[in-house]
Structure 1
Amino acid sequence: MNTPPLTTTNRVSTGSTTGTTGTSSATGNSSTTGTTTNTGSFATIEPHLEITGDLGPRYAEILTPEALVFLAELHDRFAGTRHDLLAARLRKRVDAANGRDPGFLTETAHVRRDPSWRVAGAGPGLEDRRVEITGPTDRKMAINALNSGAKVWLADQEDATSPTWANVIEGQLSLFDTVRGQLSFTSPEGRQYEVTGGPTGQTPTIVMRPRGWHLVEKNLIFVDRANRRMSASGSLVDFGLYLFHNAKRLIEDGSGPYFYLPKLESHYEARLWDDIFSHSEERLGIEYGTIRATVLIETIQAAFEMEEILYELRDHCAGLNAGRWDYIFSIIKTFRSRGRRFVFPDRKQITMTVPFMRAYTELLVSTCHRRGAYAIGGMSAFIPNRRDPEVTARALEQVAADKRREATDGFDGTWVAHPDLIPTAQAEFDAVLGEKPNQVHRTRDEVNVSAADLLDVASVGGEITESGVRDNVKIGLRYIESWLRGVGAAAIDNLMEDAATAEISRSQIWQWIHDNSVTAEGRRIEKTWVNEQVAEVFAGFERTPGDRFDDALEVFRASALEPEFPTFLTVGAYARYL
C-alpha cells in the first residue's frame, strides 16, 4: 500500500477511499434491498446491507432501516481501506518471518520529536479511570458490571464475547437498554437482576470495544456498487450500531460515545478509525471530537508506533491500554519461525516483570503522559473463588501486587475481570493517586526504551515443562469449547481466560513443535507426543449433552498441530462453526 508519510496536512480524506471495493463516496440513500441506478451507459448498484441471520425478539429495534443505511455508508466509504490495511499486515508478517525485525519508524521521527502536540484526553465521565471492569454485553453480565462499583465498564464485543449472531445483536440491545436506564434480566430460575449502581450507587462510564479489523460479520452482507457481495466488517457493525443508536442519548446524559480499539498494528489503522469517527460525527450531527477512543497496544507492531497512533487519533483520543495477553500472543505469532531467540517458556513464567514486558509498559506510560493521554493497565488473569478461601486469598495477593506495580509505575487506571477484585485494585491506586483522578502529569522522562529492549524475549529465561504443555492443551480445548457454545469469557482453573489467552496456548504449542523444543524433563516436543497429550486431556473431560468438545478438538488441532499457522484461531472457527 503506497500510503504517504505521516504529516499534519497529508491525511486520508474522509470524502472517499480507494480499495478493493473501488473508489466510492457515501451517497446517503443506501437501501437494505438494493436499487439500480443508470449512470451513463452502465448501471450501478446502490451500496446496501442484507440481513441473512435469523431475527429474534426486538432485533428490529437495532437493525432499523436507518441504522442499516448508516452501516452501508460506512462500508461504502471505508471498507476498501480496511482491506488494504489487512493486506499490509500480511506483508509485514512475511518481512518478520524473513528476518526483518520491526523498529521505530524513521519517516515519522519528526512527530515523535515535536513536543507541541497533545491528545484530546478524557471526555466527560472518563476523568477518573482507576478501576475498569471488563466483560461481555449479555444482560446478566452487563448488570453485574453496572453494579460493580468500577469507574468504567469495558463493554466487550470482542475477546470476551463469542460472536454468535445472538450475542452480537442482543449485546447491542443490552447497551441500548443500559443507555436508556431500562436494563433488567430474569434468569431461567426466576431470579431478578436490576441495575442499582452497586456499592457507590453510581454506574460506570461505558467504553465499548468493537471487534478487530480482521473479523467479519457473516450475518450481514455488504453489496457494493459493482454488485459484489461480501461479509460485513465486524468492526464497522459493532461500532456503527452502538454509535447510531446511543451517541446522542449518551451526550445528553453527560457522557459520550467512547470506544476501545483492539488489535491495531499501525498508525495507518488508527488513521482509518479517526476518519471513521470524523465522518460519523458529521453524518450524525455530533460535535467534532466528541467520540473518544482508547487504543489497546496489544501487538508488537503497534508497540513501535504508540506515539504515531496517538497523533493520528489526537482529536479523538483518550489514551492507550497495555493489552498484555494479546501482546504476548502477537510476539509468538510474529516471530514463531525465527528460532530459539523468540521461544517462550511456560505461559505462567511470562510475568509483567520480565525485561521485555517492563520495557513495553514503561514505554506506554511515558508515551501517554508526554502527550496528555491516559495509560490504562492490563488485566490480571487471577480471579477469586467464593467457594475456596485459599484460592481467593492467593488471587487477591497476586492482583494486589500487579496493581501496585502499575500504580507505582504511573498508570492512571487498570482492568479487572471480576467485581470482587475491585476493592483490591482500587486500594492500590488510591494509595498512589489519593484524591487526584489520574497522574497524567507524571511524564516519566527518565524512561528510555530501545527496539532491542522490546524484542528481548530471550531474557525471560525459564523452561518448558511437560505440565506446561498439558496446561496449554487443556486451556485451549476448554476455552474453545466454551467459545463455540457462545461463552467468550471462561473461568478455568481460577484464571479468567478469553480469546487472547487461548491464542497464547495454541500458538505456544505450535511454536514448540516447530522449534523442536525440549521440556525440562528431557522430552522433545514433537507432534506425535503432543497428539497423545491432546487425546489424554480430551478423554478426561466430563461430557454433557450439547457440549462442543468434538468441534473444539478439530479447531485446536487445526490451529496448533498443522504445518500452516492460522493468524487467528477464531477466524476459521467463526466461519465454520458459529
Structure 2
Amino acid sequence: MTITDIAPPPRAFRAEPEHDRITPTLTVVGPLHERYEEILTGEALAFVAALHELFAGARYDRLADRMRHGYEIGNGRDPRFRDDTARIREDSSWRVAGPGPGLEDRRVEITGPTDPRMTINALNSGAHVWLADQEDATSPTWRNVIGGQLSLRDAIRGQLSFTSPEGKRYEVTAERTPTIVMRPRGWHLEEHHIHFTDRYRRTMAASGSLVDFGLYAFHNAQALIDQGRGPYFYLPKIESSEEARLWDQVFTFTEQYLGIRHGTIRATVLIETLPAAFEMEEILYELRDHCAGLNAGRWDYIFSIIKTYRGRGSRFVMPDRNQVTMTVDFMRAYTELLVKTCHKRGAHAIGGMSAFIPNRRDPEANARALEQVAADKRREAADGFDGTWVAHPDLIPVARAEFDAVLGDRPNQVDRQRDDVQVYERHLLNLWIGRPITDAGVRANVSVALRYIEAWLRGQGAVAIDGLMEDVATAEISRSQIWQWIRQEKSTEEGTPITREYVSSLVDEVLAEVDRHDGDRFDDAAEVFRDVALSEGFRPFLTTRAYADHLVELA
C-alpha cells in the first residue's frame, strides 16, 4: 500500500501523553546527489518542518473538504455562490495588495519547467514574467524537484550556466530578466522523498506544496528582495477560499520566520477548478494582504469540470477535446467573471496559455500556429486581461503585439471595470456544447495521453506533441473524457460504441505505432493509462498513483 492510499492521520493531538512528544523533524529518504546539500540544509529543513508542524493538519482538513464537496456535487448538488460569504462580495471597500515590485507589467509571461536549460531560455526570452513551474510542467522526479531548486537558486544569484551533452553552452545574457513567479505543487500532492515526523511520532510523506514553497522561500526570499523584486508564487489547484486562507497563513508565518515585512510575499491564484470559479472574490479576500491577481488556468479548468460532473448524465458530456475552445459559452462566462472580479478588487487578471507552438521547419504550420496564438491573445486583451501566458519564446512578440495594441504605455488595465458583465451560476454551469464525439477524437485522446505519460515517466513535464505544448492537464482531460464517455455509454459520430474493450484495443494500436527505443516507458504508460481511464472507479489525479508507483527513488 502506498502512502497515497492511507487515510490521513487522526488529529486528536491532545489525547497523546505529554511525555511521548518529540521535536517535529523532516527526514530525507531520497538519495543525495551532487550539490543537494546546498538545498537540503539543516536550517532549511527545520523551516520546512515548522511549516508542516503548523499547517499539515489543516492541509488534511482542506483535502477532506474537497472530497466532501465533490461527493455532494456528484449526488446532484450543484456549486453555488456561497450565502455564508455574501458579505465579502457585497462589501465594496476592500482591495488586494496588488503587484509587488517587478510585477506591475505582466503583459507577457512565459511558462516552463525549472531544469537549467529551460531556466536559462526563460530568463533570456524577453518576457516580463517567468512562471517557474514546479507543478504541471515538471515531472516530480527527485532530480527535478531538487534540481529545479538548484537552478532557481543559481539563477537568482547570477551563477547559472549549462552545457548540454552535445557540448552546447547556455548562459543568461539578457540585461533584464523576467520577474520570477514560482509555482509549487498543489495541496493534494506529496513528496515521498522526504518524510515528516510530527511531535507525536507519526510519520508521513511530506507535502509537495510545503516542500517546494519552503525550500524556495528559505533560500531565495531575501536575495530577491535585495534585487528589488520579491518572493512571488503561483498557487495551483485551489478549490475554496479556505484553501486560500491556509496559504495566507503559510505566507504570514514565513514572513515572521524569515524576518521580512508582512505582505512582501505576493501570490497569483490559478482559477483552474470549477469550485474555485464560484469563490473568486472570497479567494482574493482571504489572500488580500499577499495577493497580486488571478489567472485563468483554462486546461485544468476543463479537466475539473469533466471530473466534477463525470457521473451526472449526458448533458454534462463534452465532445472531442479540440472542440472545447475558449469561445464556448461556459468558458466565456468563466473568463469574463474572472476579469470583472479582479479589476473590482485591484488585482491583475492574467490569461491562459494557448497550446499552439511554432514550427521553424514548417512555414505553413508555423504561420497557422502564430495566427491561432494572435487571435487568442487579441481576445484576451480586448476582454480586459492584464497579461497572458505563452509556452515558447518565439510567441512572445506575437502576444506582446496584441497586448501593446490595447495597453499602449500603460502597465496594465486594472482600472478598466467590467460592469457590463453579468455572470450567474447558470452561465458557469451551461456545459452543453452540441458537438459530436468522433472516432478521431477518441483515438487522439488515447494517443496524446499515452505519449505524454510516457514522457512524464521519463522526467519530462512539458512535451511538444502534434504541434501543441502539453502538460499534465492534457493527459488529465484526455483520460477523464475517456472514462466519462465509457461510463455514460457514448458512441462516436461514426457509430462506434466507446467501451473499455474498444479503448483498450486503441491503446494496443498506439503502442504498435509509436517509435520504441531502449529505456522508453510506454509499457508503464499503458499501465497507468488503463488504471486511470478504464478502471471502474475514478482516480481524482493520475499523477498521485503514478508518482508513488513509478517515480520514487529511495536511497
Shorter-chain TM-score range: over 0.9
Which residue pairs with 1:353 in the alignment? 327
Instruction: Rate the CA distance shift 1:40–1:379 in 2: closer, same or farther, 3 A.
Output: closer
CA offset at residue 378 of structure 1? 0.2
Preserved CA contact (<8 Å) 1:306 1:364: yes
Pick from 156, 175, 179 the counterpart of residue 156 of structure 2.
179
Per the normalisation by structure 1, the TM-score is 0.93
Distance (Å, rounded) in 1 between the aligned partners of 2:139 and 2:334: 29
Report whether the alignment pairs 1:209 with 2:183.
Answer: yes
Letter in 2 for 1:510: W
Letter in 2 for 1:463: P
Report whether the alignment pairs 1:553 with 2:526.
Answer: yes
Q: Bigger CA drift: 168-177 or 40-49?
A: 40-49
Q: How does 1:322-341 map to 2 (within 5 A)?
A: 322-341=296-315
Preserved CA contact (<8 Å) 1:21 1:79: no
Q: How does 1:171-570 map to 2 (within 5 A)?
A: 171-197=148-174, 201-458=175-432, 460-570=433-543
Letter in 1 for 2:105: D
Distance (Å, rounded) in 1 between the aligned partners of 2:105 and 2:239: 28
Which residue pairs with 1:32 in the alignment? none
Which residue pairs with 2:135 in the alignment? 158
Gaps of 5+ in 1: 1-17, 25-38
Report whether the alignment pairs 1:76 with 2:72.
Answer: no
CA offset at residue 43 of structure 1? 2.7
Distance (Å, rounded) in 1 between the aligned partners of 2:383 and 2:70: 32
Preserved CA contact (<8 Å) 1:20 1:84: no
Preserved CA contact (<8 Å) 1:464 1:519: yes
Preserved CA contact (<8 Å) 1:45 1:225: yes
Deviations 1:421-470 (A, max 9, x none): 00000000000000000000001011110111001011x22110000000
Distance (Å, rounded) in 2 between the aligned partners of 1:185 and 1:377: 31
CA RMSD of aligned residues (A): 1.2
- The number of aligned residues is 543
Distance (Å, rounded) in 1 between the aligned partners of 2:108 and 2:204: 39
Distance (Å, rounded) in 1 between the aligned partners of 2:261 and 2:495: 63
Deviations 1:295-346 (A, max 9, x none): 0000000000000000000000000000000000000000000011110000
Instruction: Rate the CA distance shift 1:41–1:501 in 2: closer, same or farther, 3 A.
Output: closer
Letter in 1 for 2:407: L
Deviations 1:393-428 (A, max 9, x none): 000000000000000000000000000000000000
Deviations 1:147-197 (A, max 9, x none): 000000000000000000000001000000011011110111111100011
Letter in 1 for 2:364: E
Distance (Å, rounded) in 1 between the aligned partners of 2:332 and 2:260: 40
Q: Bigger CA drift: 321-330 or 39-48?
A: 39-48
Deviations 1:116-157 (A, max 9, x none): 000000000000000000000000000000000000000000
Which residue pairs with 2:107 in the alignment? 130
Pick from 134, 137, 140 the counterpart of residue 117 of structure 2.
140
Letter in 2 for 1:52: V
Gaps of 5+ in 2: 1-7
CA offset at residue 528 of structure 1? 1.2
Deviations 1:43-78 (A, max 9, x none): 311100001000011100000000000000000000
Question: Which has the bigger relative contact order, CA under 8 A and spacing at least 6?
Answer: 2
Per the normalisation by structure 2, the TM-score is 0.97
CA offset at residue 20 of structure 1? 4.1
Pick from 46, 52, 56 the counterpart of residue 23 of structure 2.
46
Distance (Å, rounded) in 1 between the aligned partners of 2:10 and 2:241: 20
Q: What secondary structure, in the 3-state scheme, does the structure 2 residue paired with 1:125 have?
A: coil
Preserved CA contact (<8 Å) 1:19 1:79: no
Distance (Å, rounded) in 2 between the aligned partners of 1:505 and 1:499: 10
CA offset at residue 42 of structure 1? 2.2
Distance (Å, rounded) in 2 between the aligned partners of 1:156 and 1:406: 22
Instruction: Rate the CA distance shift 1:180–1:21 in 2: closer, same or farther, 3 A.
Output: farther
Distance (Å, rounded) in 2 between the aligned partners of 1:51 and 1:511: 39
Q: What secondary structure, in the 3-state scheme, does the structure 2 residue paired with 1:208 have?
A: strand
CA offset at residue 23 of structure 1? 4.8
Q: How does 1:2-13 map to 2 (within 5 A)?
A: none
Letter in 2 for 1:446: D
Distance (Å, rounded) in 2 between the aligned partners of 1:62 and 1:215: 20
Distance (Å, rounded) in 2 between the aligned partners of 1:344 and 1:479: 21
Distance (Å, rounded) in 1 between the aligned partners of 2:233 and 2:19: 41
